Chains A and B, each alone.
Chain A
Protein backbone atom coordinates (compact mmCIF):
# COMPACT_ATOMS: atom_id res chain seq x y z
CA UNK A 1 0.00 0.00 0.00
CA UNK A 2 0.98 3.65 -0.34
CA UNK A 3 1.84 5.54 2.82
CA UNK A 4 2.98 8.98 3.77
CA UNK A 5 5.12 8.75 6.85
CA UNK A 6 7.08 11.65 8.25
CA UNK A 7 10.30 10.55 9.89
CA UNK A 8 12.21 13.18 11.85
CA UNK A 9 10.48 15.87 9.81
CA UNK A 10 11.16 14.28 6.44
CA UNK A 11 8.18 13.01 4.43
CA UNK A 12 8.43 9.52 2.93
CA UNK A 13 5.87 8.87 0.23
CA UNK A 14 6.38 5.16 -0.24
CA UNK A 15 4.84 1.97 -1.39
CA UNK A 16 5.23 -0.63 1.37
CA UNK A 17 4.31 -4.27 1.93
CA UNK A 18 1.08 -4.39 3.97
CA UNK A 19 2.62 -6.51 6.67
CA UNK A 20 5.71 -4.37 7.17
CA UNK A 21 6.36 -3.24 10.71
CA UNK A 22 7.60 0.28 11.41
CA UNK A 23 10.98 -1.10 12.54
CA UNK A 24 11.66 -2.58 9.11
CA UNK A 25 10.48 0.60 7.40
CA UNK A 26 12.81 2.75 9.47
CA UNK A 27 15.87 0.54 9.01
CA UNK A 28 15.18 0.31 5.29
CA UNK A 29 15.42 4.08 5.01
CA UNK A 30 18.66 4.24 6.97
CA UNK A 31 17.55 4.87 10.54
CA UNK A 32 20.00 2.30 11.86
CA UNK A 33 19.72 3.44 15.47
CA UNK A 34 16.53 1.37 15.59
CA UNK A 35 17.49 -2.13 16.73
CA UNK A 36 15.63 -5.40 17.03
CA UNK A 37 16.32 -7.43 20.15
CA UNK A 38 13.45 -9.93 20.30
CA UNK A 39 10.47 -11.34 18.43
CA UNK A 40 7.93 -10.95 21.22
CA UNK A 41 7.63 -7.23 22.05
CA UNK A 42 9.62 -7.69 25.24
CA UNK A 43 12.94 -5.85 25.01
CA UNK A 44 12.39 -2.16 24.16
CA UNK A 45 15.38 -1.92 21.80
CA UNK A 46 13.19 -0.75 18.93
CA UNK A 47 11.58 2.13 20.85
CA UNK A 48 10.74 5.15 18.66
CA UNK A 49 8.09 7.84 18.99
CA UNK A 50 4.87 8.05 17.03
CA UNK A 51 3.31 11.47 17.47
CA UNK A 52 5.70 11.96 20.37
CA UNK A 53 4.70 8.82 22.23
CA UNK A 54 7.21 6.01 22.72
CA UNK A 55 6.10 2.80 21.02
CA UNK A 56 7.68 -0.50 20.02
CA UNK A 57 8.40 -0.12 16.33
CA UNK A 58 8.67 -3.92 15.97
CA UNK A 59 4.97 -4.18 16.79
CA UNK A 60 3.66 -1.05 15.16
CA UNK A 61 2.39 -1.69 11.62
CA UNK A 62 4.07 0.72 9.24
CA UNK A 63 0.68 1.12 7.57
CA UNK A 64 -0.74 2.44 10.84
CA UNK A 65 1.88 5.20 10.79
CA UNK A 66 0.44 6.52 7.53
CA UNK A 67 -0.03 10.24 7.94
CA UNK A 68 1.77 10.32 11.26
CA UNK A 69 5.02 11.73 12.59
CA UNK A 70 7.71 9.30 13.65
CA UNK A 71 10.81 10.27 15.59
CA UNK A 72 13.94 8.15 15.90
CA UNK A 73 17.13 8.85 17.80
CA UNK A 74 18.49 10.47 14.65
CA UNK A 75 15.72 13.06 14.99
CA UNK A 76 16.65 14.12 18.52
CA UNK A 77 20.37 13.86 17.97
CA UNK A 78 21.51 16.70 20.20
CA UNK A 79 19.37 15.88 23.17
CA UNK A 80 20.32 12.22 22.81
CA UNK A 81 24.00 13.15 22.68
CA UNK A 82 23.58 15.27 25.76
CA UNK A 83 22.06 12.39 27.71
CA UNK A 84 24.53 10.03 26.02
CA UNK A 85 27.38 11.94 27.66
CA UNK A 86 25.88 11.19 31.07
CA UNK A 87 25.75 7.52 30.07
CA UNK A 88 29.36 7.40 28.88
CA UNK A 89 30.51 9.29 31.97
CA UNK A 90 29.36 6.19 33.87
CA UNK A 91 30.47 3.60 31.30
CA UNK A 92 26.83 2.54 31.40
CA UNK A 93 26.41 2.16 27.64
CA UNK A 94 28.64 -0.98 27.57
CA UNK A 95 27.84 -2.76 24.29
CA UNK A 96 25.51 0.06 23.32
CA UNK A 97 23.02 -2.14 21.53
CA UNK A 98 20.14 -1.22 23.83
CA UNK A 99 21.19 2.42 24.15
CA UNK A 100 19.15 4.03 21.36
CA UNK A 101 15.86 2.45 22.46
CA UNK A 102 16.61 3.20 26.07
CA UNK A 103 17.48 6.82 25.30
CA UNK A 104 14.25 7.27 23.31
CA UNK A 105 12.31 5.99 26.31
CA UNK A 106 14.25 8.28 28.67
CA UNK A 107 13.66 11.37 26.56
CA UNK A 108 9.96 10.54 26.29
CA UNK A 109 9.77 10.03 30.03
CA UNK A 110 11.32 13.42 30.63
CA UNK A 111 8.56 15.00 28.54
CA UNK A 112 5.80 13.00 30.18
CA UNK A 113 6.68 12.98 33.87
CA UNK A 114 7.44 16.00 35.99
CA UNK A 115 9.92 15.43 38.79
CA UNK A 116 9.44 11.67 38.77
CA UNK A 117 10.35 9.60 41.81
CA UNK A 118 12.96 6.85 41.47
CA UNK A 119 10.16 4.31 41.49
CA UNK A 120 8.26 6.10 38.74
CA UNK A 121 11.45 6.21 36.69
CA UNK A 122 12.13 2.48 36.99
CA UNK A 123 8.53 1.63 36.26
CA UNK A 124 8.49 3.83 33.18
CA UNK A 125 11.69 2.28 31.84
CA UNK A 126 11.13 -1.31 33.01
CA UNK A 127 10.48 -2.55 29.48
CA UNK A 128 13.88 -1.43 28.21
CA UNK A 129 16.15 -4.39 28.82
CA UNK A 130 19.92 -4.28 29.15
CA UNK A 131 21.99 -7.42 29.66
CA UNK A 132 25.37 -5.76 30.18
CA UNK A 133 25.03 -3.15 32.86
CA UNK A 134 22.73 -4.33 35.63
CA UNK A 135 21.07 -0.92 35.19
CA UNK A 136 22.90 0.74 38.11
CA UNK A 137 25.09 2.82 35.80
CA UNK A 138 22.01 3.86 33.82
CA UNK A 139 20.37 4.92 37.06
CA UNK A 140 23.39 7.03 38.05
CA UNK A 141 23.40 8.65 34.62
CA UNK A 142 19.67 9.37 34.84
CA UNK A 143 19.96 10.85 38.31
CA UNK A 144 22.78 13.18 37.31
CA UNK A 145 20.99 14.21 34.13
CA UNK A 146 17.66 14.87 35.83
CA UNK A 147 19.49 16.81 38.49
CA UNK A 148 21.50 18.94 36.05
CA UNK A 149 18.56 19.49 33.65
CA UNK A 150 20.87 20.29 30.72
CA UNK A 151 17.87 20.66 28.41
CA UNK A 152 16.95 23.89 30.19
CA UNK A 153 20.39 25.35 29.52
CA UNK A 154 20.39 24.06 25.97
CA UNK A 155 16.99 25.61 25.39
CA UNK A 156 15.44 22.40 24.22
CA UNK A 157 11.79 21.56 24.41
Chain B
Protein backbone atom coordinates (compact mmCIF):
# COMPACT_ATOMS: atom_id res chain seq x y z
CA UNK B 1 0.00 0.00 0.00
CA UNK B 2 1.24 3.45 -0.89
CA UNK B 3 0.13 6.87 0.26
CA UNK B 4 0.51 10.29 -1.29
CA UNK B 5 0.37 13.42 0.82
CA UNK B 6 0.54 16.05 -1.87
CA UNK B 7 0.16 15.65 -5.59
CA UNK B 8 1.65 18.35 -7.77
CA UNK B 9 1.76 19.15 -11.45
CA UNK B 10 4.82 21.36 -11.94
CA UNK B 11 4.47 23.72 -14.87
CA UNK B 12 8.14 23.97 -15.69
CA UNK B 13 11.06 21.60 -15.43
CA UNK B 14 12.74 24.03 -13.07
CA UNK B 15 9.76 23.82 -10.78
CA UNK B 16 9.78 20.02 -10.96
CA UNK B 17 13.45 20.02 -10.07
CA UNK B 18 12.92 22.45 -7.24
CA UNK B 19 10.05 20.36 -5.82
CA UNK B 20 12.14 17.23 -6.00
CA UNK B 21 15.12 18.77 -4.28
CA UNK B 22 13.14 20.34 -1.51
CA UNK B 23 13.20 16.89 0.07
CA UNK B 24 14.49 14.17 -2.18
CA UNK B 25 13.58 11.29 0.09
CA UNK B 26 10.00 12.36 0.55
CA UNK B 27 9.36 13.12 -3.10
CA UNK B 28 8.61 10.80 -5.99
CA UNK B 29 8.60 11.58 -9.67
CA UNK B 30 5.67 9.62 -11.08
CA UNK B 31 6.02 7.62 -14.24
CA UNK B 32 3.24 5.51 -15.74
CA UNK B 33 2.19 4.40 -12.23
CA UNK B 34 1.62 0.77 -13.30
CA UNK B 35 3.70 -0.50 -10.40
CA UNK B 36 2.97 2.31 -7.96
CA UNK B 37 0.46 0.34 -5.92
CA UNK B 38 2.79 -2.63 -5.63
CA UNK B 39 5.15 -0.71 -3.43
CA UNK B 40 4.70 0.42 0.13
CA UNK B 41 5.99 3.93 -0.33
CA UNK B 42 4.73 6.79 1.70
CA UNK B 43 5.17 9.65 -0.67
CA UNK B 44 5.00 13.14 0.73
CA UNK B 45 5.14 14.83 -2.63
CA UNK B 46 4.19 13.12 -5.85
CA UNK B 47 5.52 15.00 -8.85
CA UNK B 48 3.49 14.43 -11.99
CA UNK B 49 5.30 15.38 -15.20
CA UNK B 50 2.35 14.92 -17.54
CA UNK B 51 1.83 18.65 -18.07
CA UNK B 52 5.37 19.34 -19.27
CA UNK B 53 4.94 18.19 -22.87
CA UNK B 54 7.32 15.31 -22.33
CA UNK B 55 5.11 12.98 -24.35
CA UNK B 56 6.69 13.99 -27.65
CA UNK B 57 8.44 11.81 -30.17
CA UNK B 58 10.70 13.88 -32.40
CA UNK B 59 13.48 13.47 -34.91
CA UNK B 60 15.82 16.29 -34.04
CA UNK B 61 19.51 17.04 -34.45
CA UNK B 62 20.12 13.68 -36.06
CA UNK B 63 18.47 11.82 -33.24
CA UNK B 64 15.21 10.08 -32.50
CA UNK B 65 14.06 11.61 -29.23
CA UNK B 66 11.57 9.93 -26.94
CA UNK B 67 10.17 12.12 -24.18
CA UNK B 68 9.94 10.63 -20.69
CA UNK B 69 6.14 10.62 -20.82
CA UNK B 70 5.92 8.87 -24.18
CA UNK B 71 3.87 5.73 -23.55
CA UNK B 72 4.99 2.28 -24.56
CA UNK B 73 2.03 2.05 -26.90
CA UNK B 74 3.23 5.16 -28.73
CA UNK B 75 6.41 3.24 -29.54
CA UNK B 76 4.25 0.66 -31.29
CA UNK B 77 2.21 3.13 -33.28
CA UNK B 78 4.27 6.26 -34.01
CA UNK B 79 5.64 6.11 -37.57
CA UNK B 80 8.90 7.79 -36.54
CA UNK B 81 9.56 4.86 -34.21
CA UNK B 82 8.11 1.97 -36.17
CA UNK B 83 9.97 2.96 -39.34
CA UNK B 84 13.36 2.97 -37.60
CA UNK B 85 15.68 0.26 -36.39
CA UNK B 86 13.53 -2.42 -37.97
CA UNK B 87 10.78 -1.53 -35.53
CA UNK B 88 12.49 -3.19 -32.55
CA UNK B 89 11.38 -0.56 -30.05
CA UNK B 90 7.73 -1.28 -30.73
CA UNK B 91 8.44 -4.98 -31.02
CA UNK B 92 10.24 -5.07 -27.69
CA UNK B 93 7.31 -3.64 -25.74
CA UNK B 94 4.52 -5.38 -27.66
CA UNK B 95 4.35 -8.34 -25.26
CA UNK B 96 3.90 -6.31 -22.11
CA UNK B 97 0.45 -7.14 -20.68
CA UNK B 98 -1.87 -5.34 -23.12
CA UNK B 99 -2.64 -2.05 -24.81
CA UNK B 100 -4.43 -0.42 -21.83
CA UNK B 101 -1.31 -1.15 -19.77
CA UNK B 102 1.00 0.18 -22.47
CA UNK B 103 -1.07 3.34 -22.70
CA UNK B 104 -0.14 3.97 -19.07
CA UNK B 105 3.47 2.75 -18.85
CA UNK B 106 6.03 5.26 -20.07
CA UNK B 107 9.52 5.36 -21.53
CA UNK B 108 10.73 7.43 -18.60
CA UNK B 109 9.24 5.10 -16.01
CA UNK B 110 10.69 2.03 -17.70
CA UNK B 111 14.18 3.41 -18.27
CA UNK B 112 14.57 5.27 -14.99
CA UNK B 113 13.54 2.25 -12.90
CA UNK B 114 16.16 0.05 -14.59
CA UNK B 115 14.15 -3.09 -13.87
CA UNK B 116 15.88 -6.30 -14.79
CA UNK B 117 12.82 -7.51 -16.66
CA UNK B 118 12.61 -4.40 -18.83
CA UNK B 119 12.34 -5.23 -22.52
CA UNK B 120 12.75 -1.63 -23.50
CA UNK B 121 16.09 -1.01 -21.81
CA UNK B 122 17.49 -4.14 -23.45
CA UNK B 123 16.45 -2.86 -26.89
CA UNK B 124 17.69 0.68 -26.20
CA UNK B 125 21.07 -0.58 -25.03
CA UNK B 126 21.61 -2.29 -28.35
CA UNK B 127 20.76 0.96 -30.11
CA UNK B 128 23.45 2.86 -28.21
CA UNK B 129 20.87 5.22 -26.72
CA UNK B 130 21.58 8.04 -24.32
CA UNK B 131 19.43 9.46 -21.57
CA UNK B 132 19.00 13.14 -20.91
CA UNK B 133 18.68 14.09 -17.25
CA UNK B 134 17.66 17.51 -16.00
CA UNK B 135 20.75 17.94 -13.86
CA UNK B 136 23.05 15.24 -15.13
CA UNK B 137 22.70 16.13 -18.80
CA UNK B 138 23.12 13.59 -21.55
CA UNK B 139 24.83 10.34 -20.61
CA UNK B 140 25.11 7.00 -22.37
CA UNK B 141 22.42 4.54 -21.40
CA UNK B 142 24.89 1.79 -20.54
CA UNK B 143 26.52 4.05 -17.99
CA UNK B 144 23.13 5.02 -16.64
CA UNK B 145 22.09 1.37 -16.43
CA UNK B 146 25.22 0.46 -14.55
CA UNK B 147 24.74 3.14 -11.92
CA UNK B 148 22.64 2.63 -8.80
CA UNK B 149 19.23 4.26 -8.83
CA UNK B 150 19.37 7.70 -7.28
CA UNK B 151 16.15 9.62 -7.01
CA UNK B 152 17.84 13.00 -7.28
CA UNK B 153 17.34 13.76 -10.94
CA UNK B 154 14.61 13.79 -13.52
CA UNK B 155 14.83 11.83 -16.73
CA UNK B 156 13.67 14.06 -19.56
CA UNK B 157 14.17 11.98 -22.64
CA UNK B 158 15.93 9.14 -24.37
CA UNK B 159 17.95 9.88 -27.53
CA UNK B 160 19.01 7.46 -30.22
CA UNK B 161 21.25 8.47 -33.11
CA UNK B 162 19.19 8.29 -36.27
CA UNK B 163 21.97 6.51 -38.12
CA UNK B 164 19.90 3.95 -39.99
CA UNK B 165 21.34 0.99 -38.17
CA UNK B 166 19.79 -2.43 -38.52
CA UNK B 167 18.47 -4.12 -35.40
CA UNK B 168 16.73 -7.20 -34.11
CA UNK B 169 15.06 -8.21 -30.86
CA UNK B 170 14.45 -11.69 -29.45
CA UNK B 171 12.87 -12.86 -26.24
CA UNK B 172 11.53 -15.98 -24.56
CA UNK B 173 8.60 -15.80 -22.14
CA UNK B 174 6.76 -18.37 -20.09
CA UNK B 175 3.50 -16.93 -21.32
CA UNK B 176 3.05 -14.49 -24.17
CA UNK B 177 2.36 -11.49 -21.94
CA UNK B 178 4.80 -12.36 -19.17
CA UNK B 179 8.04 -10.59 -18.42
CA UNK B 180 10.83 -12.08 -20.51
CA UNK B 181 12.68 -15.11 -19.19
CA UNK B 182 15.53 -13.76 -21.27
CA UNK B 183 15.82 -11.06 -23.91
CA UNK B 184 18.50 -10.18 -26.45
CA UNK B 185 18.92 -7.30 -28.84
CA UNK B 186 21.53 -6.54 -31.48
CA UNK B 187 22.21 -3.73 -33.88
CA UNK B 188 24.63 -3.30 -36.72
CA UNK B 189 25.94 -0.17 -38.39
CA UNK B 190 28.59 -0.37 -41.07
CA UNK B 191 29.76 -3.73 -39.79
CA UNK B 192 30.00 -2.57 -36.19
CA UNK B 193 27.76 -4.53 -33.86
CA UNK B 194 26.19 -3.86 -30.50
CA UNK B 195 24.70 -6.68 -28.44
CA UNK B 196 22.69 -6.56 -25.24
CA UNK B 197 21.12 -9.19 -23.04
CA UNK B 198 18.28 -8.49 -20.62
CA UNK B 199 16.26 -10.27 -17.94
CA UNK B 200 19.27 -12.34 -16.87
CA UNK B 201 17.21 -11.71 -14.57
CA UNK B 202 19.47 -8.81 -13.52
CA UNK B 203 19.52 -5.56 -15.49
CA UNK B 204 20.23 -5.62 -19.18
CA UNK B 205 23.90 -5.22 -20.09
CA UNK B 206 26.02 -5.08 -23.20
CA UNK B 207 27.71 -8.25 -24.32
CA UNK B 208 30.95 -6.78 -25.65
CA UNK B 209 32.54 -10.13 -26.39
CA UNK B 210 29.58 -11.15 -28.50
CA UNK B 211 29.78 -7.86 -30.37
CA UNK B 212 33.48 -8.41 -30.95
CA UNK B 213 32.79 -11.84 -32.42
CA UNK B 214 30.40 -10.29 -34.89
CA UNK B 215 32.73 -7.41 -35.69
CA UNK B 216 35.45 -9.91 -36.44
CA UNK B 217 33.13 -11.93 -38.65
CA UNK B 218 33.16 -15.02 -36.47
CA UNK B 219 29.49 -15.50 -37.04
CA UNK B 220 26.25 -15.46 -35.12
CA UNK B 221 26.71 -18.77 -33.33
CA UNK B 222 30.07 -17.71 -31.91
CA UNK B 223 28.52 -14.46 -30.77
CA UNK B 224 25.77 -16.38 -29.02
CA UNK B 225 28.31 -18.57 -27.26
CA UNK B 226 30.31 -15.53 -26.25
CA UNK B 227 27.25 -13.84 -24.75
CA UNK B 228 26.42 -16.99 -22.81
CA UNK B 229 29.95 -17.19 -21.42
CA UNK B 230 30.82 -13.57 -20.73
CA UNK B 231 27.73 -12.55 -18.74
CA UNK B 232 26.31 -13.79 -15.47
CA UNK B 233 22.90 -15.38 -15.26
CA UNK B 234 20.74 -15.93 -12.23
CA UNK B 235 17.81 -17.94 -10.97
CA UNK B 236 14.40 -16.59 -10.06
CA UNK B 237 10.86 -17.90 -10.19
CA UNK B 238 10.79 -17.71 -13.98
CA UNK B 239 13.88 -19.82 -14.72
CA UNK B 240 17.20 -21.14 -13.56
CA UNK B 241 20.62 -19.71 -14.40
CA UNK B 242 21.71 -22.63 -16.58
CA UNK B 243 18.62 -22.42 -18.72
CA UNK B 244 19.06 -18.67 -19.12
CA UNK B 245 22.64 -19.20 -20.21
CA UNK B 246 21.51 -21.61 -22.91
CA UNK B 247 18.83 -19.17 -24.00
CA UNK B 248 21.35 -16.35 -24.22
CA UNK B 249 23.37 -18.31 -26.75
CA UNK B 250 20.29 -19.04 -28.84
CA UNK B 251 18.66 -15.63 -28.69
CA UNK B 252 21.83 -13.64 -29.40
CA UNK B 253 22.58 -15.92 -32.31
CA UNK B 254 19.05 -15.61 -33.66
CA UNK B 255 18.96 -11.85 -33.27
CA UNK B 256 22.30 -11.57 -35.10
CA UNK B 257 21.10 -13.85 -37.88
CA UNK B 258 17.91 -11.87 -38.20
CA UNK B 259 19.90 -8.68 -38.44
CA UNK B 260 22.17 -10.16 -41.11
CA UNK B 261 19.10 -11.20 -43.10
CA UNK B 262 17.78 -7.67 -42.89
CA UNK B 263 21.16 -6.38 -44.03
CA UNK B 264 20.93 -8.51 -47.13
CA UNK B 265 17.41 -7.28 -47.80
Residues of A within 8 A of B6 (CB): 1, 18
* Residues 37 to 96 of chain B near chain A (Cβ within 8 Å): 37-38, 43, 46, 48, 50, 73, 77, 94
Central interface residue in A56, A64, A123, A124, by most chain B CB within 10 Å: A56
Interface string of B166-205 (1 = CB under 8 A from A): 0000000000110000000000000000000000000000
A148 proximal to B (CB < 8 A): no
- In the complex, the answer to whether B103 meets A55 with C-beta atoms within 8 Å is yes
With A18-B4, A44-B100 as given contacts, are A64 and B37 in contact (CB-CB < 8 Å)?
Answer: no
Taking the nearest CB of chain A, how far is it from the CB of B48, in angstroms?
6
Residues of B within 8 A of A126 (CB): 97-98, 176-177
Central interface residue in A41, A54, A66, by most chain B CB within 10 Å: A41
- In the complex, the answer to whether A44 meets B104 with C-beta atoms within 8 Å is no
Label chain B's interface by main secondary structure: mixed
B34 proximal to A (CB < 8 A): yes
- In the complex, the answer to whether A63 meets B38 with C-beta atoms within 8 Å is no
**CB contact between B103 and one of A53, A63, A128 (< 8 Å): that residue:** A53
Central interface residue in B46, B77, B103, B176, by most chain A CB within 10 Å: B103
Residues of B within 8 A of A64 (CB): 30, 33, 48, 50
B209 proximal to A (CB < 8 A): no
Taking the nearest CB of chain A, how far is it from the CB of B187, in angstroms?
24
Taking the nearest CB of chain B, how far is it from the CB of A71, in angstroms?
13
Interface residues on A, range: 20 to 34
* Residues 38 to 84 of chain A near chain B (Cβ within 8 Å): 39-42, 44, 47, 53-56, 58-61, 63-64, 66
B7 proximal to A (CB < 8 A): yes
Determine the distance from Cα of A1 to Cα of B6 in the docked complex, in whole angstroms.
8
With A1-B7, A18-B6 as given contacts, are A127 and B101 in contact (CB-CB < 8 Å)?
Answer: yes
- In the complex, the answer to whether B103 meets A18 with C-beta atoms within 8 Å is no
Determine the distance from Cα of A82 to Cα of B80 in the docked complex, in whole angstroms.
36
Central interface residue in B32, B38, B100, by most chain A CB within 10 Å: B100
A142 proximal to B (CB < 8 A): no
**CB contact between A63 and one of B5, B7, B73 (< 8 Å): that residue:** B7
- Closest residue of chain A to B38 (Cβ to Cβ) is A40
The 6 closest A-B pairs by CB, nearest first: A127-B98, A19-B4, A18-B4, A18-B7, A127-B97, A54-B100
Chain B residues in contact with chain A, CB under 8 A?
Answer: 2-7, 9, 30, 32-38, 43, 46, 48, 50, 73, 77, 94, 97-101, 103-104, 176-177
Chain A residues in contact with chain B, CB under 8 A?
Answer: 1, 18-19, 21, 39-42, 44, 47, 53-56, 58-61, 63-64, 66, 101, 105, 108-109, 112, 123-128
